[in-house]
A and B are shown apart, each in its own frame.
Chain A
């Protein structure tokens, strides 16, 4: 029996972007306030999952032609790379650096290497969640 997904599909087209934007906001909020790579990653996976429910696996693959296992690996490269960076300066592993920088138009920016680490976490979380969902939910032909 084919069910009609019109409402779900129409809603998804709007909600997907809202959730994505919110996940990016949460990701950047993560330093001093609740949020960060992990939650941001979960939200993004939630958005992709919604897409998957409203349409099907093939649609998701067409929109995001990514091997999620490689995404995990890239995320790990970011996370480990941030840690290894401190080895070069003879500081304990995972020591972070930060500083203020003046950028025209945007003004004073507070930059922190922890963001790069968090980006790694974000990628790992999205990658792992999506690999799990694809493995369980997808029919491997």
Chain B
């Protein structure tokens, strides 16, 4: 098989699968098989891609054979390859969970096809090296997410999807405006080429117009990535759809925003101590605080996890904003950890809510008696989330805090440290109130296919544990990813072939 096209396969396989699934909408069983198999193949392909990037360096593909910077270039550096791999794994787990967890009515209405289109968008956004193409893949991702958030048409879904669509349409409009601004200043859309042009026009400091464009991009990506104060739509909207969709949204969509911030800020708006960097740092810290307040305040299991997404976004962005190699490595480490563990936790609280028939923690209790497998999985996931060593949250946070202190951002680093404690409290609240205590009987408990639903979260939690315990093995990959962010010339040279 053609090897120069290898990096497009994790985008192409879900795309072809989605088309096949449209034709199979009558047969639920066939849809499950096709989407499960395809997701597995995507995982294998993206793992091979990571390996290829590790051995041969950054992979590029000039679509339609138009040379960079004139055509659209896809670029797989280690960061994007790792994120594509993580996305594929999370998608695979959510698809397995959906077999029993989404309901046949939704399966018959193109649920799996929409999910595959969403993977196309997410993997594409991680892979593309063209700023306008990034917008296009954002749209692919958003269109599918509109379908997924609406599918089922319950009242809460209809109410929340209006907000969700409105917010995203506005932010997409801003995205195009921002790209237009940038294009009028630098005259190119290829990200490596933009970076090169910006460094040509920047003397001692970046011109003001670049900072303005940087802030507009921050608003656009911040709306997707849920940073303070642009996260207002997220707790409501993510709450509406069923668990597997929530897991996909929570694990992937916000991370695409975060990735875009990382990519554009390392390439374009990198100026140390510059305006944009300060804004990101302050917003990141406020994001952590806002997330913590939400996570502690709610007694609704889903809301607690949703607010934990916001905390994580803040932690990752704080690491990025220090632009310190340690902290950046930590951020990437934490980003991947967070994608896996958030997906696991969403699936777990989804299972919890299915068993007990409620999202309210006050009406749950004693799950450990009848569901020990679930309870221990949840316990491990909770520890991993809050970063207890040697689990996977630990390494990332240590590096971020270390980097923060060594760059003398003491307040931010201290808040990141303190946030772990509050995250632990918020997640232990679920554990103590939901899992411990007197067992209760729930009305529909018996009809829940508990064992089948547990498979996907268990896979994710095991992966997350391996990711933490095997940090030594993972570290070279992560540091390679951070290297092309710190030393952007590697990225630029790989794309422009200089």
Please give the residue numbers on chain A whose beta carbons come within 8 Å of chain B beta carbons, in ascending order.
69-70, 72-73, 76-77, 80, 83-84, 86-96
Contact = CB atoms under 8 A, between A and B. Distances in A.
A89 B3 CA distance: 11
Contact of B65 (A70, A84, A87, A95): A95
B48 to A, nearest CB: 16
6 contacts: A69-B22, A69-B110, A70-B23, A91-B2, A93-B63, A94-B64
Interface string B54-78: 0000000111110000000000000
Interface string B1-16: 1111100100010011
B139 to A, nearest CB: 13
Contacts of A86: 5
A86 B66 CA distance: 14
B4 A70 contact: no
Which of A72, A91, A92, A96 has the largest number of chain B CB atoms within 10 A? A92
Contact of A84 (B12, B62, B110): B12
A72 B22 contact: yes
Nearest to A75: B19
B486 to A, nearest CB: 29
Q: Which label, helix, strand, loop or mixed, suits the secondary structure of the A interface?
A: helix
Which of A80, A87, A88 has the largest number of chain B CB atoms within 10 A? A87
B2 A90 contact: yes
Interface string B353-395: 0000000000000000000000000000000000000000000
Contact of B63 (A73, A89, A92): A92
A70 B22 contact: yes
A138 B19 CA distance: 25
B15 A92 contact: no
A92 B5 contact: yes
Given A76-B18, A76-B19, 6 more contacts: A80-B12, A84-B16, A87-B5, A92-B61, A93-B5, A94-B64
A69 B3 CA distance: 33
A94 B12 CA distance: 12
A94 B63 contact: yes
Given A87-B5, A88-B2, A93 B12 contact: yes
Contacts of B8: 93
Contacts of A90: 2-5
Contacts of A96: 64
A128 to B, nearest CB: 10
Contact of B61 (A69, A89, A93): A93
Contacts of B65: 91-92, 95
A25 B106 CA distance: 41
A125 B204 CA distance: 49
B22 A92 contact: no
Contacts of B5: 86-87, 90, 92-93
B424 to A, nearest CB: 46
Going nearest first, the 9 A-B pairs with the smallest beta carbon separation are A73-B22, A90-B2, A95-B65, A94-B64, A76-B19, A87-B2, A92-B65, A93-B8, A87-B5
A93 to B, nearest CB: 5
Given A77-B19, A80-B16, A80-B19, A87 B1 contact: yes
A25 B404 CA distance: 62
Nearest to B20: A73
B19 A73 contact: yes
Nearest to B60: A92
Contacts of A73: 19, 22-23
A92 to B, nearest CB: 5
Contacts of B1: 87
Contacts of A84: 12, 16
Nearest to B9: A87
B437 to A, nearest CB: 47
B62 A92 contact: yes
Nearest to B6: A87
A15 to B, nearest CB: 32
Given A80-B16, A84-B12, A92 B23 contact: no
B15 A80 contact: yes
A69 B19 CA distance: 10
B497 to A, nearest CB: 14
A94 B62 CA distance: 10
A94 B66 CA distance: 10
Nearest to A84: B12
A81 to B, nearest CB: 9
A88 B18 CA distance: 21
B84 to A, nearest CB: 16
A18 B3 CA distance: 47
Contacts of B4: 90-92
A126 to B, nearest CB: 15
Nearest to A91: B65
Interface in B276-313: none
Contacts of A87: 1-2, 5
B280 to A, nearest CB: 34
A77 B1 CA distance: 20
Nearest to B73: A92
Contacts of B3: 90
B417 to A, nearest CB: 46
A86 B15 CA distance: 16
Nearest to A92: B65
Contacts of A92: 4-5, 61-65
A139 B110 CA distance: 21
A37 B458 CA distance: 47
